[in-house]
């Protein structure tokens, strides 16, 4: 059969069919999708096999010459279609691949000459090839995610300073607590993304490991030099003792790092959803011209992107459990992890990359309403200043317990008015009318100034200035 040439570079490839990988095009960005294409995987396989031949030739132990190694380099190729065709017979993807590559290597060898392809996969196992290639794919994918983290982290930092002095109310348990600034929200998100970056960098280091050590990892038929040579060329570190497979705690660490990053994005997206509620409406995700909300209720502007991010986070987090379950393998090798990895790894990276893209769009273009933020500061009629009232009463000489009774008594009266939509006295007015709340007008003026809570906010933003991605 005529042999078709494949692309020469490892990556990236145009996003084509994703046979063998679970991909939903709706959630797949081209660069990340290309990494998990069979074209990319087999290109890495080819490079590993060629490098191993070159290492064997340099070593001079197996019989392969440097000329043969060069011939293999010049003629090795494959097509996904032909590999698939062979696998229908062999039911073994690595054998199908090496058989296909051999067809290309030997196609132009003169009749009667020894076939250079005999040196391909010499002394190697399927795991040597597959695990080392998978490690390389993982580093490719993590590098994209790290770029995503950097971009979103820098956006959050920039917008934190944009809203450094934009007053809003802080909430604990969903209840108005004390004043803060909206920039602090963005700042906290930036720091969370920095931690995600650190975890991903650590996971990349652990994952960037190769193993070409033969059956059960004893190097019985292959010199460790081959492993060292191949790994160095691929930017990987040889595993010090791999058994027949790379230990799956490495992959579990990667997946847990992805899950933590997904959970971080979910946390941010959740806040956007809460801020976009009609009863809050301090911020909302962008709403494009021509965009529609509800099919039945034309007035709706729903936080659909934030909700999508929260939903996809569930998939990434769940896949981390799959990776943890893959750690326990029988003795020196079984393949119970293999099928799950083909789904979980690709899906997690693809979903997380998509989530980062959507969060970048959302937070960079987040619509904010400072006037509504300040309005909400006063929605509880001054109750958010209760902590300052408590301290001020203690400063007058009464016990904390007695002060708490005074503060809470007046606060609950205001709460009752709010609950029943009664336009009653404000919290300050009730305190002024309480003979036991002996606080001067000057003291109350200071207490009921929201900026009095934020006299040390500059320290927070000074720390943020030093944050780098």
pLDDT at 1: 38
Q: For the chain, give the percent of residues with pLDDT over 70.
A: 95
Q: In whole angstroms, what is the distance from residue 67 CA to residue 105 CA?
A: 13
- How many CB atoms neighbour CB 5 within 10 A? 9
Mean pLDDT for the chain?
93
Q: Is the pLDDT of residue 273 over 70?
A: yes
pLDDT at 59: 94
Taking only Cα atoms into account, the Rg of the chain, rounded to an integer number of angstroms, comes to 31
Q: In whole angstroms, what is the distance from residue 425 CA to residue 112 CA?
A: 103
Segment 25-60, tens digit of pLDDT: 889 999 999 999 999 999 999 999 999 999 999 999
Position 15 confidence tier, pLDDT thresholds 50, 70, 90: very low
In this prediction the pTM is 0.91
Residues sharing a CB contact under 8 Å with residue 64, sequence separation 6 or more, in sequence order = 53, 56, 57, 116, 119, 122
Q: What is the DSSP letter of 110?
A: P
pLDDT at 333: 85
386 is catalytic: no
Q: In whole angstroms, what is the distance from residue 433 CA to residue 410 CA?
A: 10
Closest residue by Cα to residue 117 from 86, 78, 75, 87 = 75
Q: Is the pLDDT of residue 123 over 70?
A: yes
pLDDT at 382: 96
What token pair was written down for 224? 């460790």
Contact 392, 447 (CB under 8 A): yes
DSSP 168-214: EEEEETTEEEEEEEHHHHHHHHHHHHHHHHHHHHHHHHHH-EE----
Contact 170, 378 (CB under 8 A): no
Q: Is the pLDDT of residue 7 over 80?
A: no
In angstroms, the first-to-last Cα distance of the chain is: 52
Segment 161-189, tens digit of pLDDT: 999 999 999 999 999 999 999 999 999 99
Burial label, 148 (beta-carbon count in 10 A; 0-12, 13-18, 19+): buried
Segment 85-122, tens digit of pLDDT: 999 999 999 999 999 999 999 999 999 899 999 999 99
Catalytic residue among 220, 294, 336, 387: 294
Position 12 confidence tier, pLDDT thresholds 50, 70, 90: very low
* Average of per-residue pLDDT across 391-402: 96
Segment 334-353, tens digit of pLDDT: 888 888 898 999 999 999 99
DSSP helix/strand/coil, 167: strand
Q: Which helix (H) or strand (E) holds 92?
A: none
Q: In whole angstroms, what is the distance from residue 136 CA to residue 422 CA?
A: 65
What angle do helix axes 126-162 and 224-234 make, rounded to 10 degrees? 30
- How many CB atoms neighbour CB 291 within 10 A? 10
* Average of per-residue pLDDT across 236-261: 95
Segment 416-457, tens digit of pLDDT: 999 999 999 999 999 999 999 999 999 999 999 999 999 999
Closest residue by Cα to residue 40 from 2, 92, 78 = 78
Which CATH code is given to the segment(s) 25-119?
1.10.275.10
How many contiguous H segments (helices) and E segments (strands) does the chain have?
A: 17, 6
Q: Domain limits of the chain?
A: 25-119, 126-161+179-285+300-368, 377-465
DSSP 412-465: HHHHHHHHTT-----HHHHHHH-TT----HHHHHHHT-GGGGGTTHHHHHHHHH
pLDDT at 21: 56
Which CATH code is given to the segment(s) 377-465?
1.10.40.30
The answer to whether domain 25-119 and domain 126-161+179-285+300-368 are alike in fold is no
What token pair was written down for 358? 């959507």
pLDDT at 457: 96
Position 18 confidence tier, pLDDT thresholds 50, 70, 90: very low
Which CATH code is given to the segment(s) 126-161+179-285+300-368?
1.20.200.10
Q: Is the pLDDT of residue 9 over 70?
A: no
pLDDT at 338: 83
Contact 457, 142 (CB under 8 A): no
Contact 53, 119 (CB under 8 A): yes
Contact 70, 58 (CB under 8 A): no
Strands 209-210 and 237-238: parallel
Contact 19, 38 (CB under 8 A): yes
Please tell me whether the peptide bond between 37 and the residue prior to it is cis, using omega within 30 degrees of 0: no
294 is catalytic: yes
According to DSSP, the residues that pair with 172 across neighbouring strands are: 175
pLDDT at 300: 79
- How many CB atoms neighbour CB 452 within 10 A? 13
Q: In whole angstroms, what is the distance from residue 253 CA to residue 262 CA?
A: 14
State the residue for tokens 């300050």. Answer: 428
Q: What is the dihedral of CA 45, 48, 49, 53, to 10 degrees?
A: 170
């Amino acid at each position: 059969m005529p042999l078709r040439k494949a692309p020469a570079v490892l990556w990236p490839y145009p996003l084509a069919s994703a046979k063998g990988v679970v991909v939903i095009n709706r959630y797949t960005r081209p660069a990340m999708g290309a990494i998990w294409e069979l074209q990319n995987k087999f290109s890495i396989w080819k490079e590993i096999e060629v490098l191993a031949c070159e290492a064997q030739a340099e070593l001079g132990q197996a019989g392969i010459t440097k000329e043969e190694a060069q011939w293999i380099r010049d003629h090795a190729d494959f097509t996904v279609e032909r590999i698939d065709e062979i696998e229908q017979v062999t039911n073994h993807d690595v054998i199908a691949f090496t058989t296909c590559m051999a067809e290309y290597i030997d196609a132009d060898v003169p009749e009667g000459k020894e076939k250079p392809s005999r040196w391909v996969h010499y002394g190697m196992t399927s795991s040597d090839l597959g695990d080392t290639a998978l490690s390389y794919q993982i580093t490719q994918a993590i590098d994209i995610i790290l770029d995503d983290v950097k971009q979103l982290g820098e956006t959050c930092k920039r917008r934190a300073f944009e809203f450094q002095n934009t007053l809003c109310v802080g909430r604990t348990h969903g209840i108005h607590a004390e004043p803060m600034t909206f920039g602090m929200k963005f700042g906290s998100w930036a720091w969370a993304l920095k931690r995600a970056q650190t975890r991903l960098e650590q996971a990349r280091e652990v994952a960037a490991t190769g193993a070409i050590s033969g059956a059960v990892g004893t190097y019985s038929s292959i010199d460790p030099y081959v492993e060292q040579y191949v790994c160095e060329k691929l930017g990987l570190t040889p595993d010090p003792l791999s058994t027949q497979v790379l230990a799956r705690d490495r992959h579990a660490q990667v997946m847990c790092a992805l899950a933590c990053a997904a959970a971080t994005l979910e946390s941010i997206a959740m806040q956007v959803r809460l801020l976009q509620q009609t009863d809050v409406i301090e911020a909302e995700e962008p709403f494009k011209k021509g965009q529609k909300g509800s099919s039945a209720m034309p007035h709706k502007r729903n936080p659909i992107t934030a909700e999508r991010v929260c939903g996809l986070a569930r998939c990434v987090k769940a896949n981390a459990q799959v990776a943890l379950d893959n750690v326990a393998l029988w003795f020196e090798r079984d393949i119970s992890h293999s099928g799950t990895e083909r789904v979980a790894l690709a899906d997690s990276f693809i979903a997380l990359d998509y989530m980062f893209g959507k969060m970048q769009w959302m937070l960079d273009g987040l619509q904010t309403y400072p006037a509504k933020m300040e309005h909400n500061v006063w929605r509880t009629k001054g109750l958010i200043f209760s902590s300052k009232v408590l301290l001020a009463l203690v400063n007058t000489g009464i016990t904390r317990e007695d002060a708490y009774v005074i503060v809470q008594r007046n606060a609950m009266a205001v709460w009752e008015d709010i609950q029943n939509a009664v336009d009653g006295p404000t919290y300050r007015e009730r305190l002024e009318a309480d003979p036991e709340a002996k606080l001067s007008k000057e003291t109350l003026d200071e207490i009921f100034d929201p900026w009095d809570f934020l006299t040390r906010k500059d320290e927070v933003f000074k720390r943020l200035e030093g944050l780098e991605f």
